Amino acid sequence: MKISLITPSYKRSHFLKKNFDNLNKINKKFPNSFEWIIITEKNDIKSIKVVKTFKKKFVKHLTGNFRNNDKAFNHGVKYSKGELLVIYGDDDFITEKFIREIKNKFNKKYKWYVGYGQYINNKGQLIRKNLTTIKSLLIKNYNKNILLIINFIMTPSVCFSKKEFLAIKGLNQKIKYASDYFLWLEFSKKFKPKIIEKYISKATFTSSTKTGSFSFTRYFQMFKVISKYQNNLFILFLQICSVFLIILFNFIKKRILKL
């Protein structure tokens, strides 16, 4: 069993270097367990130069004119050798537990694996601890109806079947936001995930990241996606309430309080 970590990246060579250092240490303990596929844009000369210094067998570099993260990810899947895939942001960091737990729990009857994740700032310090605890509890008590109301899954802590990913034709390139959420809803329609009750990844969270910035469009896009997956008026009502509260909370926090 091999895991393919797939990373579209644009002009963030500092994160790629930091990620390589982390993955190189993990590779020494778990050789041949994973591959790291980096996809860069042809005009991102600095990142291309940095990636060329990553002279390790577990690194595979692709470049092209994608201008879309989801399109780049889908392209990377074509060149992957792993049975399992990971949407691996350039500022996401798996831990040794990630590889160990997936290897120990791997079974072909499971089509996706979901573990706990943590948030860090640019200094590597743990942040958003209360939200992390809430998400971990929701993952532990996974329910696909709750997933329809709120996305509690932390993307870098998810491994999913390449075969099933290809069956649903990959990430939806037309969705500007929440394409990973769309993917989890697709998987949840058919399969229950194998839950890993351990923290296996860390995601960087700052005001410059998509999840750390405020955008009305992002939340409306999220509602547009999730509303298509329900056929229950009560769940639709809860979806509306959930998105409204998320918009209100983030508007006050990021636009008014400037936090």
Tokens representing 248 are 């209100």
More confident residue, 160 or 234: 160
pLDDT > 90 fraction of the chain, expressed in percent and rounded:
73
Identify the pLDDT of residue 214. 56
Instruction: Give 134 or 212, the one with higher predicted confidence.
Output: 134
User: Residue 232 has what pLDDT?
Assistant: 84
Which region holds residue 67: left if phi is over 0, alpha if psi is between -120 and 50, else beta? left
pTM: 0.88
pLDDT in tens, 124-173: 999 999 999 999 999 999 999 999 998 999 999 999 999 999 999 999 88
pLDDT of 31 over the 60 cut: yes
The average pLDDT across 182-189 equals 94
Residue found by looking up tokens 């860090």 in the block: 120
pLDDT score recorded for residue 253: 65
Is residue 175 within 8 Å of residue 182, measured between CB atoms? Answer: yes
Angle of helix 13-29 versus helix 96-105 axis, rounded to 10: 50
- The helix/strand count (H/E) of the chain reads as 10, 9
Report strand pairing: 84-87 vs 158-161: antiparallel
197 pLDDT band, cuts 50/70/90, is very high
Q: Which of 219, 217, 257 is nearest to 241 (CA)?
A: 219
Confidence label for 213 from pLDDT (cuts 50, 70 and 90): low
Start-to-end CA span in the chain (Å): 43
Whole-Å CA distances, 153 to 41, 144, 190, 203:
28, 11, 17, 12
Alpha helices (runs of H) in the chain, residue ranges in sequence order: 13-29, 45-51, 69-78, 96-105, 129-140, 144-149, 162-167, 179-190, 216-227, 233-250
Ramachandran region of residue 203, left (φ > 0), alpha (ψ -120 to 50) or beta?
Answer: beta
Could you identify the residue written with the tokens 């367990």? 33
Reported confidence tier of residue 235, pLDDT bands at 50, 70, 90 = confident
Over residues 81-100, mean pLDDT: 97
179-190 and 216-227 are packed helices; what angle lies between their axes, rounded to 10 degrees?
20
Closest CA to 45 of 92, 74, 10: 10
CA atoms of 44 and 220, how far apart (whole Å): 31
Instruction: Flag whether pLDDT at 220 surpasses 90.
Output: no
Work out the average pLDDT over 95-103: 97
Q: Work out the pLDDT band at 227, boundaries 50, 70, 90.
A: confident
| Residue 94 to residue 12: CA distance in whole angstroms | 18
| pLDDT tens by residue, 32-69 | 999 999 999 999 999 999 999 999 999 999 999 999 99
pLDDT for 200 beyond 80: yes
